[in-house]
Amino acid sequence: MTTLKEQLEQRVAATTEWETRRQAGANGPNMAHLWVLACMDERMPVDEALGIRADTPVGGGDAHLFRNAGGIVTDDAIRSAMLTINFFGTREIVVLQHTGCGMLSANGHDLEKALRGQGIDVDNIPIDPSLPELTLDKGAFAKWIGMMEDVDKTCIQCVDQLRNHPLIPDDITISGWIWETEFRRLRAPDLNAPTRAVSQPTAASMGVKGKQPPRWK
């Protein structure tokens, strides 16, 4: 029989481990040794989709969670993945994107045109004001926005980009998944998924005309 004293000692030790976890580096990983790259969309329920506790409540502890527009691989996503894997004990990456995504809802060229119409010189934008060395070539702004033609294709490409990046070790498990917003269910990226006919997996299915800037080849 465990005494109350022992129970309290275990609880205090667990609380201390939680509070000081980052000081332990790779010896203090999150519970699932997991990094999740997910879309920032408010309809994207990461915990429900993956069956983990990271997003609700915040601080659930299972994973490092990185959200951006579209849940796509960007320079800052790579920076975060590199840190969590090489220094904080993460052994697995999940890319989580979804149908009906806002990054399918407009053409990147049109978004660039709208910003130019507001008087913004998109050819001379500080991508990171604290790191002026990080710049875009002239004409690359629309591509940088990262609008998508097809969420399944993009998810597959993001997984490939992570697998082939020199800052991501070869032994890291990496997978990609699509959350079908219309049905609240998860599936693997699949260009032949039958539900694509009744969901919004492409820019065309959301009424967008014209080819997107060629970020996703």
Q: pLDDT digit of tens for each residue in the chain (217 aa)?
A: 899 999 999 999 999 998 999 999 999 999 999 999 999 999 999 999 999 999 887 788 999 999 999 999 999 999 999 999 999 999 999 999 999 999 999 999 999 999 999 999 999 999 999 999 999 999 999 999 999 999 999 999 999 999 999 999 999 999 999 999 999 999 999 999 999 999 999 999 999 999 999 887 6
Residue 38: give the domain boundaries.
Answer: 16-106+151-199
Q: How many domains does the chain have?
A: 1
| pLDDT of res. 202 | 96
Instruction: Determine, yes or no, domain membership for 213.
Output: no
* Contacts of residue 18, Cβ cutoff 8 Å, sequence gap at least 6: 61
Whether 92 maps to a domain, the answer reads: yes
Look at residue 54 in the predicted model and tell me its pLDDT.
94
Model pLDDT, residue 56? 84
116 in any annotated domain = no
Report the DSSP beta bridge partners of residue 64.
35
Token pair, residue 152, equals: 């399944």
pTM of the model: 0.93
137, part of any domain: no
The pLDDT of residue 217 is: 65
With beta carbons less than 8 A apart as the criterion, state whether 62 and 33 touch.
no
User: Is 204 within a domain?
Assistant: no
146 within some domain: no
Look up residue 177 and give its two tokens: 């998944």
Q: Considering only CA atoms, which of 56, 65, 73, 57 is closest in space to residue 30? A: 65
Q: SS in 3 state form for 10-30?
A: HHHHHHHHHHCHHHHHHHCCC
What amino acid occupies position 135?
A: T
CATH of the domain at 77: 3.40.1050.10
Identify whether 53 is part of a domain.
yes
In a domain, 45, yes or no: yes
